[in-house]
């Protein structure tokens, strides 16, 4: 029970990677607050978390809305009795298409969720963590933020910015004993990616062809890395962006 007594908030925990992360913390004894855009999905994950005999609450809030985020963090501190770990996982993609066909409204929407959301949630959580002089923030970035991914202008840029935000906050918050790290998932077959596979915009065989370990990552693979970075075993790791991609990013030459 590595996280017994710890209080964890996971944004975008209603489905996919966020759900796996919330459940992995619950399995390790943490109290969890599950945020999502819709109450139904947040509650579904919270209900599954309670099966591990831990406290789990569901919170519907948009990470794009600073007032909703502040109320969410206040509620977590009140109902769980504190906040030790924030996982900034909520994120959306954009239609995959050439620059001139993209809409600037999509750019704004993606930036608001992926980048502004990570910023405002970190700010609200840091206020509490600074007071208690301890905390862990784990941002879910993407391999898209490490490479030039064609047709994904806003998404890739937002994730690259999250990686830099991770470094800035790691340095700034270190004096309060707060670690800030990121996990960069490779392709994971969640709803977000399944849509693109259906549309023929992401081809599983092509992804696997470039992947040295020859397999996709699962939501649980991302959860394992997230829990490690949030654990005391990682107490001297801060400011890193850890790819969990079966080697996709480092593969510079493949035939």
Place of tokens 């969640």: 190
- Which residues here bind ligand NDP, judged by CB under 6 A? 11-12, 14-18, 35-38, 41, 62-64, 89-92, 113, 140, 142, 185, 187-188, 190-193
Nearest to 91 by CA among 72, 68, 74, 116: 116
Residue 148 C-beta: closest distance to ligand NDP, Å: 15
Query: Within a 10 A sphere around the Cβ of 10, how many other Cβ atoms?
Result: 35
Catalytic residues: 155
Closer CB to ligand NDP, 122 or 190, in the complex:
190
Tokens of 254: 């493949």
Closer CB to ligand NDP, 90 or 111, in the complex:
90
Residue 231 C-beta: closest distance to ligand NDP, Å: 20
What's the CA gap between 183 and 219, in Å, rounded? 12
Residue 147 C-beta: closest distance to ligand NDP, Å: 12
Residue 177 C-beta: closest distance to ligand NDP, Å: 26
Sheet holding 178-185, edge to edge: 56-60, 31-36, 7-10, 85-88, 135-140, 178-185, 241-244
Closer CB to ligand NDP, 39 or 237, in the complex:
39
Residue 199 near residue 135 (C-beta atoms within 8 A): no
Residue 66 near residue 127 (C-beta atoms within 8 A): no
Closer CB to ligand NDP, 167 or 189, in the complex:
189
Element (H, E) at 56: strand 56-60
User: For residue 158, what is the DSSP state?
Assistant: H
Residue 21 near residue 56 (C-beta atoms within 8 A): no
Closer CB to ligand NDP, 35 or 157, in the complex:
35
Buried b (16+ CB within 10 A) or exposed e, 40-78: ebbbbbbeebeebebbbbbbbbbbbebebbbebbeebbe
Residue 116 C-beta: closest distance to ligand NDP, Å: 10
């Amino acid at each position: 029970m590595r996280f017994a007594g710890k209080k964890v908030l996971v944004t975008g925990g209603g489905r996919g990677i966020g759900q796996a992360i919330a459940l992995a913390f619950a399995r390790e004894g943490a109290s969890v607050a599950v945020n999502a855009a819709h109450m139904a999905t947040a509650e579904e994950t919270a209900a599954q978390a309670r099966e591990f005999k831990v406290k789990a609450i569901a919170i519907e809030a948009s990470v794009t809305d600073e007032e909703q985020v502040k109320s969410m963090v206040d509620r977590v501190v009140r109902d769980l009795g504190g906040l030790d770990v924030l996982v900034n996982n909520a994120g959306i993609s954009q239609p995959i298409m050439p620059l001139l066909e993209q809409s600037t409204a999509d750019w704004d929407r993606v930036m608001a969720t992926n980048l502004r959301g990570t910023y405002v949630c970190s700010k609200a959580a840091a206020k509490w963590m600074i007071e208690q002089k301890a905390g862990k923030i784990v941002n879910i970035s993407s391999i898209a933020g490490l490479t030039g991914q064609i047709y994904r202008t806003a998404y890739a840029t937002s994730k690259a910015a999250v990686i830099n935000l991770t470094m800035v906050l790691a340095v700034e918050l270190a004096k309060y004993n707060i670690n800030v790290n990121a996990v960069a998932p490779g392709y994971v077959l969640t709803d977000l990616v399944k849509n693109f596979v259906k549309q023929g915009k992401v081809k599983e065989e092509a992804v696997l062809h470039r992947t040295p370990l020859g397999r996709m990552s699962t939501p649980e693979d991302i959860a394992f890395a997230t829990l490690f970075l949030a654990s005391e075993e990682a107490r001297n790791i801060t400011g890193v962006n850890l790819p969990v991609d079966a080697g996709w990013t480092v593969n510079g030459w493949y035939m």
